[in-house]
Structure 1
Amino acid sequence: MQALTRPYGALHYRTDGPADAPTVIFANSLGTDLRLWDAVLPLLPQDLRYIRYDKQGHGLSTLGNGTDIADHADDAIALIEALAGKPVVFVGLSIGGLIGQTVASRRPELLRALVLSNTAAKLGTVESWQARIDAIAGHGLEHIADAVMERWFAPVFRATPELALWRAMLTRTPADGYIAACRALSQADQTAATAALRLPALAIAGDADGASPAELVEATAALIPGSAFHVIPGAGHLPCVEKPAAYAAILSPFLRAHAHD
């Protein structure tokens, strides 16, 4: 296991691929850890270096403050500066996409390109996130787990035995880490900053996504001139889990085009 020392503790990360290859950074969704990318990584170009990490308060990473999207962007920036040495392609899913947008707006020199998966410049409302926080504070993550699974996955996947594993990943997320990330999401609005971005961008959506509908992802992609947008049929909020081959078929050409000098 690998960890980057941060002011609040340890940020857990994993590296795959040649050490001297161009780097791709992956940022996960709310309630998941770096295993989110297990199925898709073997299908991506093998001449690249892939770094994925657990957001603070998730997986094996320590919880710092984590209640502002800038806190999470600081972690990503520190990871890039410590491990990459050169600009990277940043792939962010859900809150990971908001982290990527924040990094791109604050430190554009660190990114070659940006992939926005199942995300938007703004996700939800203050009221909707507060309602979720109240539910978890009162009853725990188990109380919301079934509703989250319906937003995460299309019906076909929800009928498989694998669903239980993803439900377990969600419910075993530290509640304080999950709540902190909800607070960050409740205040995050990158609309103006993302509209000012000028870098290669790819947006990916699932047509059965109950958390970030395809039209919301498309609207965010439209903020960035020249961006590409793709919808994966039969996929929910985590298409890299449900449809890894389809996901890789969209992501791989983008990486080949933009990861190298």
Structure 2
Amino acid sequence: MLLHYRLDGPEHGEPLVLAPSLGTSTRLWNRQITALARTFRVLRFDLPGHGDSPALQAGTLDGLAALVLDVADAEGLDTFHFAGVSIGGAIGATLAARHPGRLRSLAMICSSARFGDPEAWHERAKLVREQGTAPLLEATARRWFAQTPDRALLDDLAATDPAGYAACCDALAAYDLRADLAGITVPTLVVAGREDPATPPAHARELADGIPGATLVELPGAAHLAPADQPERVTQALLAHLPALPGMRVRREVLGDAHVDRAVARTTPFTRDFQDLITRYAWGEIWTRPGLDRRTRSCVTLTALVARGHLDELAMHVRAALRNGLTPDEIGEVLLQSAIYCGVPAANAAFAVAQRVLAEEDHA
């Protein structure tokens, strides 16, 4: 069988697969898709028996991971980034552990290396096979949302095929990846909702501690469906994490992780498009061109900032110039040169800024 899926974003964009949570559909990612599909070729799929996917009578996480690979193969995706919620995150971790050559990066959102007592999952599977998903709706709403419940997502749960839902429950009962976490080597982001009763932050910390180099983000005001509960914060965390975002790698290399992380943390819906613009065009198009090395680009940038009097930006790029290999004496030479062609008052202000930054760096 082939899972139902849909594609968004530029045809030649970096491939990104988004996986849903148990009881939801591709709709779970509706609040992130606009931002992600600007850059990435985004593939969203429905779990068996969910949305428009056919149901399975039985399943395992390895089997679900294999179904995702079938979808990726159908679209010619040899490798791809992956982000998933709950069981979706577990599918991604299974892919990273069992098929490490297929993933470029991994994001696990409100997920776990083991989802509690297997017997509880078998009991839920039995209930759903006998009575459908209707008995789950009230408790699930409390588990999924710390904010206003998304009725459309609850409608997805009500419409889920009982056999498909139960098969996923059986897969979760058998899932335990704790012993395999150390073998996950792709860049990994772990996101926890601080008000998530299903996979509380302790589950996320176990993942982050077990996966080498993993980054942990805890979101206040988020329960189990963080992409619906805190959509902007989930979007920001993903955009900061995804290494394929054009320019983000160069931006971090030149300006440093601390500066970029602060900029990302301050991003709002009002400023998000601007942040995307400078990352893609300034850092992804100009700073990556082969015609000048980074030292030379730093010299040009310092001169331009002195000429225009952009002193806040100048401080940032003095630090960047040091990271790009310029010495303090060479930075001084650039400012001396700018005094002749940009004006002595402008250079005087620039020297004051540069001296302060260099002193801070000496004491860092």
TM-score, normalised with respect to structure 1:
0.89
1:102 aligned residue (90, 94, 99): 94
User: How far apart are residue 259 of structure 1 and its match?
Assistant: 5.6
Q: How does 1:77-96 map to 2 (within 5 A)?
A: 77-96=69-88
Quote the residue 1:75 is aligned against: 67
Quote the residue 1:53 is aligned against: 45
1:183 aligned residue (153, 165, 170): 170
Q: For residue 18 of structure 1, what is the amino acid of its counterpart?
A: P
Contact 2:10-2:41 within 8 A present in 1 as well: yes
* CA deviation map 1:116-168 (0-9, x unaligned): 111011112111112212322343211121111111111x324xxxx332222
Summarize the Cα distance change of 1:109–1:24 in structure 2 as closer, same or farther, 3 Å threshold: same
Query: What CA distance in whole angstroms lies between the structure 1 residues aligned with 2:38 and 2:10?
Result: 8
Quote the residue 1:223 is aligned against: 210
Contact 1:24-1:259 within 8 A present in 2 as well: no
**Gap runs ≥5 in structure 2:** 250-364
- The percentage of counterpart residues that share the same residue type is 33
Quote the residue 1:129 is aligned against: 121
Q: For residue 36 of structure 1, what is the amino acid of its counterpart?
A: L
Q: Which moved more, 1:83-92 or 1:121-130?
A: 83-92
Query: What CA distance in whole angstroms lies between the structure 1 residues aligned with 2:196 and 2:35?
Result: 23
Contact 1:45-1:252 within 8 A present in 2 as well: no
Contact 2:61-2:91 within 8 A present in 1 as well: yes
Q: Which moved more, 1:192-201 or 1:182-191?
A: 192-201
Contact 1:88-1:259 within 8 A present in 2 as well: no
Q: For residue 114 of structure 1, what is the amino acid of its counterpart?
A: L
1:247 aligned residue (234, 239, 250): 234
Query: What CA distance in whole angstroms lies between the structure 2 residues aligned with 1:29 and 1:66?
Result: 17
User: How far apart are residue 106 of structure 1 and its match?
Assistant: 1.5
Query: What CA distance in whole angstroms lies between the structure 2 residues aligned with 1:47 and 1:23?
Result: 9
User: How far apart are residue 169 of structure 1 and its match?
Assistant: 1.3
User: How far apart are residue 84 of structure 1 and its match?
Assistant: 4.4
Contact 2:239-2:245 within 8 A present in 1 as well: no
Question: How many pairs align?
Answer: 247
Q: Which moved more, 1:11-20 or 1:188-197?
A: 188-197
User: How far apart are residue 242 of structure 1 and its match?
Assistant: 1.5
Query: What CA distance in whole angstroms lies between the structure 1 residues aligned with 2:217 and 2:166?
Result: 31
Contact 1:56-1:66 within 8 A present in 2 as well: no
Contact 1:89-1:259 within 8 A present in 2 as well: no
Task: Confirm whether residue 235 of structure 1 aligns to residue 222 of structure 2.
Answer: yes
Equivalent residue of 1:11, what SS? Answer: coil
Quote the residue 2:281 is aligned against: none
User: How far apart are residue 258 of structure 1 and its match?
Assistant: 3.8
Q: For residue 212 of structure 1, what is the amino acid of its counterpart?
A: T
Task: Confirm whether residue 204 of structure 1 aligns to residue 191 of structure 2.
Answer: yes
Query: What CA distance in whole angstroms lies between the structure 1 residues aligned with 2:128 and 2:104?
Result: 38
CA RMSD after TM alignment: 1.7
Q: For residue 206 of structure 1, what is the amino acid of its counterpart?
A: G
Contact 1:26-1:90 within 8 A present in 2 as well: yes
Query: What CA distance in whole angstroms lies between the structure 1 residues aligned with 2:244 and 2:13?
Result: 13
Quote the residue 2:148 is aligned against: 157
Query: What CA distance in whole angstroms lies between the structure 2 residues aligned with 1:22 and 1:59?
Result: 25
Higher strand residue share: 1
Contact 1:212-1:237 within 8 A present in 2 as well: yes
**Gap runs ≥5 in structure 1:** 1-5
Query: What CA distance in whole angstroms lies between the structure 2 residues aligned with 1:246 and 1:94?
Result: 17
Contact 2:56-2:167 within 8 A present in 1 as well: no
Quote the residue 1:115 is aligned against: 107
User: How far apart are residue 183 of structure 1 and its match?
Assistant: 0.4
Quote the residue 1:3 is aligned against: none
Q: Which moved more, 1:176-185 or 1:194-203?
A: 194-203
Equivalent residue of 1:131, what SS? Answer: helix
Larger radius of gyration: 2
